[in-house]
Amino acid sequence: MATTQLSDVIVPEAFSAYVVENTVEKSTLVHSAVMARNAEIEAQLKAGADSFSVPYWKDLGDDEANIANDNPAQEAVPVKLSAGKQIVRKSFLHKSWSAMNLASELAGSDAISRIQARAADYWTRQTQRRLVATLNGIKAENIANGGGDMIVDISTGTGNAAKFNAASAIQACATLGDSMRDVVAIGMHSKTYAQALQNDLIQTLPDSQGGFVQTFRGLAIIVDDLMPVAADVYTSVLFGPGAFGYGVTTPRVAAGTEVENKPGAGNGGGMQILHSRINLAVHPLGYRWLETSVAAESPTLIELADATNWQRVGERKHVPLAFLVHKL
């Protein structure tokens, strides 16, 4: 029986473009407006260096205005406009799959769709994992250096007081001060979601296309089992719009997709390897990457979750994230 080989169906440029676009489109976080695709990040991913800075102007401050008078000798003293910068870290990522294992599964007329879906879904899951690792790093940094001002932890309570509830979610939103009304979504583990359903905390509305839309007190719900869990303690995260900027591109020099032939493998039976590469950056608004504990050329998931690699440079209310730590 004839077997479809990778080199029979892969057009590298088209495959790479498909992978990049579907990595973007299949993320529920993107659709919820939590992650904003950023053209500047994607442009920088094609440039040199492993990180880049994004300068920004700080606010004008709240010091009292001058009291005007009619004394010509009294000159007003202007205050300066301050600037800051966020440092965004790039990640240069690669994954490969052996054609020997895939060949039997990929035989048939729709082989290319199956290969593309596998690779695109893989990179989507990796993007989600890197975002959750970053959330863990930000939370740890806030505990270490910010006095936990982004976190409401009810997990040490007794009985129902330790469980996910609407009042505590509002309390977490309130850590944003008068920016709390900007929160648009809440991310939660599926077990938290199930508990919220049981407690009638989820509102279900019919969709014009025949499905349904679910919200938690007006917030979009992101259900993802990658949301942080430690033993029986869960972390739900409240997001403002564009809480994360991100970009994903093919590499500038190396091919985004390559098929490697190894004719001697399998005692001469031959083997093909599909190589897939992307450049990726997922960055939280209001933070600077410090590069404190990165051992290789790109940060690992563990290093993204390391508090020492992050520094908040924005005011609390200008960082559209809040954490609710709870039990079930």
Interstrand relation of 219-223 and 185-188 (parallel, antiparallel or unpaired):
parallel
- The string of pLDDT tens digits covering residues 87-126 is 899 999 999 887 665 565 555 545 566 777 788 889 988 9
Please report the pLDDT score of residue 280 as a whole number.
94
**Token representation of residue 219:** 């917030």
CA distances from 299 to 30, 51, 177, 229, 293 (A): 22, 11, 33, 22, 9
> Average pLDDT, stretch 34-48?
86
- In which element (H, E) is residue 276 found? strand 271-284
Q: What is the pLDDT of residue 1?
A: 39
Handedness of CA 198, 199, 201, 205 (dihedral sign): positive
Cα separation of the two ends of the chain: 54
Q: How far apart are CA 313 and CA 327, in angstroms?
A: 31
| Cα 33 from Cα 266, distance rounded (Å) | 48
| pLDDT value of residue 82 | 57
**Concatenated DSSP letters for 70-114?**
S-TT------PPPEEEEEEE-EEEEEEEEHHHHHHHH-STTHHHH
For residues 64-76, give the mean pLDDT: 83
Q: Is the pLDDT of residue 83 over 70?
A: no
Cβ count near 13 (within 10 Å): 11
pTM summary value: 0.84
What average pLDDT score do residues 273-278 get?
89
Mean residue pLDDT of the chain comes to: 85
CA 105 to chain CA mean position, Å: 32
CA distance 273 to 260: 5
Does 81 have pLDDT greater than 90? no
Dig out the tokens for 116 from the structure: 């593309």
Beta bridge partners, 282, equal 246
| Residue 246 pLDDT exceeds 80 | yes
C-alpha Rg value of the chain to the nearest Å: 24
Amino acid in the structure at residue 165: N
Cβ atoms of residues 313 and 287 within 8 Å? yes
Residues 6+ apart with CB under 8 A from 230: none
Spatial separation of the C-alpha atoms in residues 264 and 140, rounded to whole Å: 49
CA–CA dist 228, 214 (Å, integer): 22
Return d(Cα 134, Cα 312) in angstroms, integer.
13
Residue 99: name the closest of 118, 124, 123 by CA.
118
Q: Which pLDDT does position 89 carry in this prediction?
A: 94
Cα distances (angstroms) measured from residue 117 to each of 25, 39, 120: 12, 25, 5
Range in 30-34, 218-222, 232-236, 241-245 with the lowest mean pLDDT: 30-34
pLDDT score at 287: 94
Distance CA 51, CA 298 (A): 10
Write out pLDDT tens, residues 126-177.
Answer: 998 999 999 999 999 999 999 999 999 999 999 999 999 999 999 999 999 9
For residue 111, the Cα-to-chain-centroid distance in whole angstroms is 31
